[in-house]
Amino acid sequence: MIVTDRQKRILQILLENEDGISLAEVEKRLETSRRTLYREFGLLRPELAKSDLTLTNKKGYLQLTGSDESIADLRGELKESPGQGEMKAEDRGNALAALLLLKDEPEKIIALADELGVSEATVQADLAAVAESLAKYQIELKRTKGLGVQVSGKESQRRRILNGILLSESNDYVFFSYLNKEDQAKSGNFFIDLLPKKDLLKCWQAVKDLLSVFNFETDYQLIELILLFAISLDRQRQGKSVESMAAKPDSLKYQGYVYQIFAKLDVPEVTLTQNEVIFLANQMQMHEDQRVPFASDDQEVLVNLRVGQFIQDVSDQVQFDFSKNPAFSRRLQKHISALLQHSVKRLPNVRIETLSQLTMHFPQLYEAITAAWKLDFSEELNVAELQLLLLYFANEYGSRQPRRNLSALVICDNGLGTSAILAARLQKEVPEIKQVKTARASGLAQLKLEDYDIIFSTLDLPGFPREYHLVSPLLLGGELDRVKSEVASYVAKYPEKSTVQQPCRFKNPAAVLTQLVGESAFCQQLLQQMTLQPIGSQGMDMNAVLSAIVTAVPDEYVKDRLEVAQRLKKRLDLAPLGLPGSHLALLHTRTRAVSKCFFAIYDLAEPIAMTAMDQSKIMVKRQLLLLAPEDLPEASANVLGMISSFLVMSDQTLQLFESGNCQEIAAAIAQQYLGQVTQRLNQARGQS
């Protein structure tokens, strides 16, 4: 059962008073109005009915009734549930804006207050900030005496803002977990629940068939497209269609996608107009052309100065000199700069168990960080974001040395390259982790969580059934110390069980042999055809370099060079591909425009400026290219993932790929592959 903090407290009061309690006493204990209590009762009754429990109110006297077993189950469920916190001011503003953008009739202030569980005065105060924010996007908030408030403006702009709000307030794991559970009526996320679940499900199923076309790198992109069409259905049912607008160049292809999706949605009550088709097509086209904004040089200097003062203020309060470590300062500067410039997705304001536990271990340091942030920065951070800052500082205190072989699951929302890099870093830097499986939130329903000893995630997973540890996609800096500490805690809590090994027998020898033969043949073929070629890049921009590289690929590997170049460009626009601390970049894509896998190295005659994965600026002298067809066998995917991760194994590896020749690089990759084969054979024996 998903409940808010207030609902949880109501249920606890009722369980503590089995013979009943007066409504007036509940009002007094919760310090809330009777109107608010009635609203909460209305929300709780259908949830309680699912557990065969009834909430009665006889003459102002409340009682919870049901079987002893149902009552006991509810007690246990409430004990395990953390409850959902009340909204902060920023979230309330987004909630009010979303409610008004979804409705066309005036809304009473008292109705909005009941919807959010706050006072009318709070709503009045929040509306002033909402009006100011919406005005920037040409949406006007109107107040009509006796009727309430409503918004007006272009329908297209209204939907863009609404999509942005719902997307920013949604959590990948909560979103897909909710859609995967047929019997779950609500997600527990206010913003996700604003749209009918049946619409979200229909749109998800319809968009799924276009996954190969859009080649989504993250679940975040997939959610954005689902919301786009779910909002379209909701607004069209209200008789609201977008205004006339010009179609973007190459729009016909995307208009075709719109018609495909609506054919699968099967919503006869909705009449699809040409204006609607063009708007959705334009949005889909923009969806594929996302860029990450970066701060200007002047802004970066100012942020770095403020971060330096922030570090000094924290150091003074806890009497520990954090400024002694330049690497720590640089990591913190990058994180805070990205946070202030909104170039990274902000953490939702919910409890994250890993971060909360860290706060308990370092209460004085957390208080110092909170105080110093208020002193040095005007921007507000929620609790989870402040706790994330604590990670950077706490990692300076050292770590323990664990001893144990573990299987790990890494949940992330990034593409093949970043996932492979994170998995490889875990295996290289934490020897106890021998096996790593990477998965997106949208694919968790197909996994058996009991197969993994320890779980890491690059995104928050509210309500996740297993304990997990939050990490960044690149496992930068002091995060590694924290991971080692968490592994040590796991080893201490769960001692390794003794096993009897049969070194010469395999559980399924034929399957092991078949997989290794396939992988080995593919690896050998890939390395044999690998080439190192010069590219005359003088005076070229990034688009021209990409075109030149794709042109150099032999005909037998590509079906459509233009499509491959466009895919590479879109992947580059989505996220940086430069390798931190090097002059290398790894260009990669997976598309039907590729006939078979291809790996090559290109030396640029003139270095080109690019952004590295850690957001630093680097001058790239050598481009590595990995191409793969859409239908990629698991054996081939394993080898390509191995190459991606091998790049960042060590400084020596980066240096080899930067300056080595074809034979040296091929030999190193072959050596790395053989080492992994040996490791997997040993693991297969141990599992027999």
Q: Could you tell me the CATH number of the domain that includes residue 21?
A: 1.10.10.10
More confident residue, 150 or 435: 150
pLDDT at 16: 86
Tell which of 379, 397, 415 closes a domain.
397
More confident residue, 500 or 251: 251
Asked if 387 and 421 sit in the same domain, the reply is no
| Residue 92 forms part of a structural domain | no
Q: Is the pTM of this model over 0.85?
A: no
Mean per-residue pLDDT, 469-476:
74
Total structural domains within the chain: 5
Residues 6 or more apart in contact with residue 514 via CB below 8 angstroms:
none
Are 384 and 350 in contact, with CB atoms under 8 Å apart?
Answer: yes
pLDDT at 661: 92
Q: Poorest-confidence range of 20-24, 116-120, 395-399?
A: 395-399
More confident residue, 512 or 140: 140
Asked if 341 and 372 sit in the same domain, the reply is yes
Which amino acid belongs to residue 178? Y
Structure tokens at 53: 């429990």
Asked if 441 and 522 sit in the same domain, the reply is no
| Residue 133 forms part of a structural domain | no
pLDDT at 553: 94
Structure tokens at 223: 């959610």
- 10 has pLDDT over 50: yes
Asked if 355 and 411 sit in the same domain, the reply is no
| Residue 282 forms part of a structural domain | yes
CB 18: neighbour CB atoms within 10 A?
A: 11
Asked if 417 and 366 sit in the same domain, the reply is no
d(CA 389, CA 483): 16
- 60 has pLDDT over 70: yes
Domain range for 539: 509-685
pLDDT at 665: 93
pLDDT at 651: 64
SS3 608: strand
Are 229 and 265 in contact, with CB atoms under 8 Å apart?
Answer: yes
Asked if 380 and 526 sit in the same domain, the reply is no
Are 409 and 455 in contact, with CB atoms under 8 Å apart?
Answer: yes
pLDDT at 620: 93
- 376 has pLDDT over 90: no
Burial label for 562, CB within 10 Å (0-12, 13-18, 19+), is exposed
Residues 6 or more apart in contact with residue 457 via CB below 8 angstroms:
173, 410, 411, 412, 464, 468, 469, 470, 471
pLDDT at 294: 29
Q: Poorest-confidence range of 295-309, 371-385, 634-648, 670-684?
A: 295-309
HSE value, Cβ hemisphere, 13 Å, CA-based, for 402: 25
More confident residue, 39 or 175: 175
pLDDT at 399: 32
Structure tokens at 105: 């009739």
Q: Poorest-confidence range of 230-239, 295-304, 371-380?
A: 295-304
Asked if 320 and 247 sit in the same domain, the reply is no
Mean per-residue pLDDT, 549-570:
92
Asked if 261 and 327 sit in the same domain, the reply is no
d(CA 127, CA 342): 23
Q: What value does the mean pLDDT of the chain take?
A: 80
Sign of CA dihedral 109, 115, 120, 124: negative
SS3 74: helix
Q: Poorest-confidence range of 14-18, 87-91, 562-566, 603-607?
A: 87-91
438 has which bridge partners?
410
pLDDT band at residue 7 under the 50/70/90 scheme:
confident
Are 552 and 611 in contact, with CB atoms under 8 Å apart?
Answer: no
Asked if 603 and 680 sit in the same domain, the reply is yes
Q: pLDDT tens digit string along 571-612?
A: 888 767 888 778 999 898 889 999 999 999 999 999 999 987
Tokens 């998800």, residue located: 204
d(CA 50, CA 184): 11
pLDDT at 42: 79
| Residue 107 forms part of a structural domain | no
Backbone angles phi, psi at 534, to 5 degrees: -85, 145
Tell which of 262, 290, 318 closes a domain.
290
pLDDT at 185: 84
pLDDT band at residue 431 under the 50/70/90 scheme:
confident
Q: What is the CATH number for 532? A: 3.40.930.10
Q: pLDDT tens digit string along 445-470?
A: 888 777 788 888 888 887 777 778 88
Tell which of 256, 290, 324 closes a domain.
290
More confident residue, 217 or 623: 623
Mean per-residue pLDDT, 219-244:
90
pLDDT band at residue 341 under the 50/70/90 scheme:
low
pLDDT band at residue 216 under the 50/70/90 scheme:
low
Asked if 302 and 432 sit in the same domain, the reply is no
| Residue 96 forms part of a structural domain | no
Asked if 392 and 454 sit in the same domain, the reply is no
Mean per-residue pLDDT, 295-304:
51
Q: pLDDT tens digit string along 610-635?
A: 987 666 788 999 999 999 998 888 88
Residues 6 or more apart in contact with residue 131 via CB below 8 angstroms:
140, 141
- 269 has pLDDT over 60: yes
d(CA 407, CA 686): 13
Mean per-residue pLDDT, 199-204:
94
449 has which bridge partners?
none
d(CA 149, CA 120): 13
| Residue 576 forms part of a structural domain | yes
| Residue 457 forms part of a structural domain | yes
SS3 666: helix
pLDDT at 480: 82
Q: Among residues of the chain, what percentage have pLDDT more than 70?
A: 82
β-strand 598-611 against 617-628: which pairing, if any?
Answer: antiparallel
Structure tokens at 38: 């009635």
| Residue 134 forms part of a structural domain | no
d(CA 105, CA 238): 11
Asked if 269 and 321 sit in the same domain, the reply is no
DSSP 209: T
DSSP 270: -
Mean per-residue pLDDT, 669-678:
85
pLDDT band at residue 562 under the 50/70/90 scheme:
very high
Q: pLDDT tens digit string along 640-663?
A: 878 876 776 566 788 899 999 999
CA R_g for the chain: 28
Backbone angles phi, psi at 433, to 5 degrees: -90, 110
